[in-house]
Amino acid sequence: MNTNDFIDRLKALLNQSRERFDRAMVSDRDRRAVIFGGIGFFILVLYVVFQFFSSGSARLEKRANALRSDLKRIESLRAEYVQSKRRIEELTTTVRTGDESLISVVEKTLIDARIDRSNFSIKSRAPSSGDLYEETSVDVDIKKISLDRMVDVLYRFQTMPTFVKVSKLRPQTRFNDPDLMDVSFRVSTFKFNQVL
């Protein structure tokens, strides 16, 4: 179909509708009413089309803003994840991974702190595991120790190159010598399980 044929048909249809309109209208008043009605209908159609596109663009703008805020949140979570992963790697390097057992490490630390071997005992505990780590611990009982020497022992555990945790510290003053005490505590070390 040729565009000229289409235009000719459109002109013919327009002329026919104009002739019918002219025959149907008797007065100028009727003609004006129909013209104003047509203009009102045209304005109504324009308003509906404008509202459709403007509300659609407002929805798109709201969606774009929501996506931007989600993207910022994802970026902050990513940065937090990278920082946490780096921290886990740092902790993994400080956690004891050597072949030396925890009992040996604790015993060596106590002997280095000049605690007599007959005054302390070390009992191994069954390992417990969590989602991220496996915990190995020993219970330590020390008899007849002074407060300053106990502080030295705890300081040595705290400043060890390998990561150990001292918990369940229970000091008891001796009745026969108030300057000495009996102390029991738990020393734990951790081995990380497979991390993401």
Instruction: Copy the structure tokens of residue 104.
Output: 């040996």
CATH of 102-192, picked from 3.30.70.60, 3.30.200.20, 3.40.50.2300, 3.40.50.300, is 3.30.70.60
Task: Average the pLDDT over each of 2-6, 82-86, 109-113, 143-147 and give the range with the smallest value.
Answer: 2-6
Sorting pLDDT into bands at 50, 70 and 90, what band is 35? confident
Nearest Cα to Cα of residue 185 among 172, 170, 173: 170
The SS3 assignment for 170 reads strand
pLDDT tens-digit profile of 146-194?
888 888 888 888 888 777 788 888 888 888 888 888 888 988 887 766 6
Between residues 139 and 58, the one the model is more confident about: 139
Amino acid occupying residue 73: R
Taking residues 30-45, what's their average pLDDT? 84
| Cα–Cα distance measured from residue 143 to residue 74, given in angstroms and rounded to the nearest whole number | 55
Residue 76 confidence (pLDDT): 93
Sorting pLDDT into bands at 50, 70 and 90, what band is 80? very high
Query: What is the residue whose two structure tokens read 């071997």?
Result: 117
Nearest Cα to Cα of residue 22 among 14, 40, 36: 14
